[in-house]
Amino acid sequence: NEWLGETTLSMKNEENGNRTRRGKGRHNSVHEILNGLAKGEGDLHPALERRVRDFRLAQRKRREKYGSEKPWGILGLYEHLSSIRIDLEWAEDAAWRRQQSEPYLSWSDFEKARAKGSNRPYFIYLLTLLCTVMLIASIGVNGWKIEPLSVNPMIGPSAESLLTLGAKQSALIVTEGEWYRLFSPMILHAGVAHYLLNMLALYFVGTAIEQNHGFLNSAIAFVLAGVGGTVLSAIFLPQFISVGASGGIFGLIGMCVSDIFVNWNLLFVKEAGDEKDYRFRHAMVLMWLLFDILINCLIGLTPFVDNFTHVGGLVYGFLCGLSTIERLEVGFFGVATTTWGKIKNSLVRFAGLILSVVMIMVTTILLVESDGVSSPCHNCRYVSCVPFPPGRENKWWYCDDCNQVTADAHKRDASSPVFDFLDLTCPDGSIERIDIVEDGLGDSDGLLKALPSYCRDYCENVFNA
């Protein structure tokens, strides 16, 4: 955009004013304009026709360099949309250079120049560095050891170590006033597996977003979605300890979806005679969008990662995108925007901003007025965590509160090498006396590891009251 300047905008307005077709009236859609030119039936204003042909040339050059695109899934669709944006910008730049008698810049040189300098994803680089430092710090706080998969399947530290570094827990936020825990979980991760998955998603999705919409818009979407998702999680899953950049990443994904939504008509160009294939492509795209979202939500069914953060981040990112993203300009093609269309676009952008602010305010008030312990929806925990694998007695992970129980162990004979019984405080506050002499536990470390199993075997209620 830095090559275009104000001259491009004035030229665009002039061309739009002369977009009347010389024989049949003006085209009604972008598809009709592109297809008409492809079949040699274009009779647009000469300047506009040249711009549209430049766009077609850029698309052909892209296919020659990268091959035919198959934009399935959110990321595939967004990359396809990004390529359309670059090709439109190049056609704009070529038109401006013609008007200013400036040297011609080839499509390949334009694409290379666009990926350099200030257009690098510096926010993504900074965020990746912070997440890496905090992952190392969390393992260090955990005594430089990794917890068993039964405790943390993400190959990482204990819940206590994550809490020390700022993991989300509603009681600490509400009763202790540790409001920084609405922000700190965004740069913490449950373990190496969680970190690698998130950084991979952040690199591909975040880089595409930042290079198209800039540092500030990307940072706003990430932070707003991350905080908004954490607030929802704190309300509905107060006892869950959760961390991860997932809320912010889902915010960036929501921004992708928003961009796809507002520019849907430019994603696919319907060629003559391919009505059936055109509809099939749209159906496949919608299916893959839903599939992508479903897979990411399934990841939220594991411990320390929750779907309230994911879904909240996705919604906030989508609304933020409606208000902040730079839209592709259909006026480039000489298609007039009606008064109602302009009003509708303004309302959509205004609504996205207002809804984001209102939702943040309402959910924050609900969190402040809660006790930080009880959830308004007790069974909502299963939206975010499911014991796995089902039907197996010794599961890889559980979704109860037994990892937080405490107990007093006793010996009838002080000289005995093992504990005889213990008074276990269950998650709901009740106390169960358990005879453990036959288990042969004589040290505190072994007893601590066995407490969750005793809780599940003897406590009537394995959830915090």
What burial letters (b/e) apply to 47-84, b meaning 16+ CB within 10 Å?
bbbbbbbbbbebbebbeeeeeeeebbbbbbbbbbbbbb
Active site residues: 246, 310
Q: DSSP letters of 333-352?
A: GTPPPPHHHHHHHHHHHHHH
- CB atoms < 10 A from the CB of 101, how many? 6
Count of beta carbons in the 10 Å neighbourhood of residue 294: 9
C-alpha dist (Å) from residue 80 to 74, 83, 85, 302, 417: 10, 5, 9, 32, 68
Write the DSSP symbol of residue 175: T
Positive or negative: CA dihedral 365, 369, 374, 375: negative
Q: 3-class DSSP state for residue 302?
A: coil
SS3 percent helix, strand, coil of the chain, rounded to 5, is 65, 5, 35
Instruction: Determine the residue type at 334.
Output: G
Enclosing H/E stretch for 433: strand 431-435
